[in-house]
Amino acid sequence: MTISVPDIRIPADLLPADGRFGSGPAKVREEAVADLAAAPSFLGTSHRRPAVKAVVRNIREGLADLFGLPADYEVLLGNGGATAFWDAAALGLIERKSQHLSFGVFSAKFAAAVAGAPHLEAPEIIVSEYGTHPLPIPSAGVDTYALTHNETTTGVRMEIRRPDAPGLVVVDATSAAGALRVDPAEFDVYYFSPQKAFGSDGGLWVAACSGAAVDRIERIGATDRYVPAFLSLEVALENSRQFQTYNTPALATLFLLDHQIEWIRSMGGLEWAASRADRNAAALYEWAGRSDFAFPFVGEPGDRSPVTATIDFDPGVPAPVVASVLRANGIVDTESYRKLGRNQLRIGLWPAIETADVEALTRSIDFVVERLG
Ligand SMILES: *Cc1c(COP(=O)(O)O)cnc(C)c1O
């Protein structure tokens, strides 16, 4: 579908200083990119070098500190992003049967990946309507509960709580890690890609794993289940302990991830990052509350994401046109997730985004909508 973009120029004094409001890859801080550019020969030499291993060590230790991980938790990393981790989990984390909460495109994809695995029993999949989330249901025979901290596609977040049942709690935290509060006692695996709240680039997965999760990885690794080395969590565990990945990682991604972890820690840690996202979310949702054309898509206020806000527009205000005008004015990636098919903007509110820029965004939207008439 092509839409014609009306020629509306937003005055410079209304515009945000940084126009990146995407839901991922999300805003990368300019200071981080500048430090990468200034790092002497970090790029373009061997990834087995001490300088790179030092970055991987920093990432593992920095995340343990940021999340307040108990002593028996370990940080694993490997190539391929959260999507690769789903396949790795189907092969090396789920013993026989998993339960999935499916409430958006990403959580549904993990469930589908597991449903297709011939060595596992059919998963239990609990579905709820877009804009809501289900809760896990303790179930005999389930050894892995798959939760999603923030469904990026719908803008729904949920509290991470262990169901009252044995089994590992495995959480897709791709758009939550580094921006939402979490208690490590409530999860066994908290995995993510770093191109969202961690303001880095894609291609990598990172997973904070409890002692029980590490035991599970080692136990499955000792069976005769066929696991390709690239997707083996046991191989990832061995390599992570040596501060490296199984094969060559994107060095810039590691550098930017490490930079962001250090930045968040220096600003006051996860509580600071979560508070920044909360302030950004308050600015946006309060604007929607005052507006006569914008409404939060997620009905339950406690379920509204503080990092990926989905805002429906009145049918008389075409959100795709608004997003296109914003883009023409340098405010990018506010389009809704296309498979949702709603008259909606989706707005990233990551800790790297200044609250003043969110306020400027709301004024810019108002300016555009007034002129659309
Ligand atoms: C972005 C995202 C993914 C996919 O991440 P990739 O790095 O593209 O594999 C998975 N889950 C959630 C919740 C996401 O936001």
Q: Secondary structure of 355-373 in the HEC alphabet?
A: HHHHHHHHHHHHHHHHHHC
* pTM (global) more than 0.95: yes
Ligand 1 centroid from CA 83, angstroms: 6
pLDDT over 70 (residue 39): yes
Please tell me whether residue 127 adopts helix, strand or coil conformation.
Answer: strand
Summarize pLDDT for 271-310 with one digit per residue, the tens.
Answer: 999 999 999 999 999 999 999 999 999 999 999 999 999 9
For residue 115, the model assigns a pLDDT of 98
pLDDT (average), residues 9-21:
98
Task: Tell the residue nearest (CA) to atom 14 of ligand 1.
Answer: 174
Report the pLDDT value the prediction gives residue 46, as an integer from 0 to 100: 83
Is residue 3's pLDDT more than 90?
no
The domains of the chain are located at 41-266, 270-372
Q: Measured between alpha carbons, how far is residue 130 from residues 1, 9, 165 in Å?
A: 23, 34, 26
- Decide: 308 and 346 in contact? Cβ < 8 Å: yes
Distance, in Å, from the CA atom of 319 to the CA atom of 344, rounded to the nearest integer, reads 5
Q: Would you say the CB of residue 153 lies under 6 angstroms from ligand 1? A: no
Paired tokens of 22:
């995407």
Going through the chain in order, the beta strands assigned E by DSSP cover: 74-79, 98-102, 124-127, 144-148, 150-151, 156-157, 168-172, 189-192, 204-209, 294-296, 308-313, 344-348
**Between vectors from CA 116 to CA 113 and to CA 119, what angle results, nearest 5°?**
110
Asked if residue 111 has its Cβ within 6 Å of ligand 1, the reply is no
The answer to whether residues 309 and 285 touch, using CB atoms and an 8 Å cutoff, is yes
Residue with tokens 């989706």: 346
pLDDT at residue number 1: 58
Choice among 44-53, 192-201, 232-241, 255-264 with the minimum mean pLDDT: 44-53
**Average pLDDT for residues 11-39, to the nearest whole number?**
97
**72-81 pLDDT per residue, tens:** 999 999 999 9
End-to-end CA distance of the chain: 22
How many Å apart are CA 243 and CA 192, to the nearest integer?
Answer: 18
Distance from residue 79's CA to the centre of ligand 1 (Å): 13
Return the pLDDT at 171. 99
CA of 193 to the centre of ligand 1 (A): 6
Q: Are 132 and 300 in contact (CB under 8 A)?
A: yes
In terms of phi and psi (left: phi > 0; alpha: psi -120 to 50; beta: otherwise), the region of 118 is alpha
> What is the model's pLDDT at position 373?
77
340 Cα to the center of ligand 1, angstroms: 16
Q: Distance between CA atoms of 256 and 236, rounded to whole angstroms?
A: 21
Average pLDDT over residues 154-169: 98
AA letter at 369: V
For residues 312-338, give the mean pLDDT. 97
Cβ–ligand 1 contact at 148 (below 6 Å): yes
C-alpha dihedral sign at 267, 182, 344, 22: positive
Q: Is 108 close to ligand 1, i.e. is its CB under 6 Å away?
A: no
| Residue 189 phi, psi dihedral angles, 5° rounding | -135, 130
Closest CA to 368 of 3, 13, 2, 7: 7
Ranking 91-95, 338-342, 350-354 by mean pLDDT, the lowest is 338-342
Given this model, what pLDDT does residue 282 score? 98
Region 332-338 average pLDDT: 95
Q: Percent of the chain beyond pLDDT 70?
A: 99
Instruction: Please state, in angstroms and as integers, the Cα–Cα distance from residue 270 to each residue in 73, 76, 369, following that order.
Output: 17, 19, 36
pLDDT by residue (tens digit) across 204-215?
999 999 999 999
Instruction: Tell me what the mean pLDDT of segment 17-27 comes to.
Output: 97
How far apart CA 274 and CA 349 sit, in angstroms, is 11
DSSP state of 20: B
pLDDT band at 49 (very low <50, low <70, confident <90, very high): confident
Ligand 1 within 6 A of CB of 81? yes
* 189 C-alpha to ligand 1 centroid (Å): 15
Q: Give the ranges where 4-104 is alpha helix by DSSP (H).
A: 30-38, 50-67, 81-92
Say what the pLDDT of residue 51 is.
87
Q: Which CATH architecture has domain 41-266?
A: 3-Layer(aba) Sandwich (3.40)
Tens-digit pLDDT profile for residues 135-154 = 999 999 999 999 999 999 99
Q: Domain 270-372 is in which class?
A: alpha beta
Chain segment 78-126, per-residue pLDDT in tens: 999 999 999 999 999 999 999 999 999 999 999 999 999 999 999 999 9
Segment 168-193 mean pLDDT: 98
Strands laid side by side in the 74-79 sheet: 74-79, 204-209, 189-192, 168-172, 144-148, 98-102, 124-127
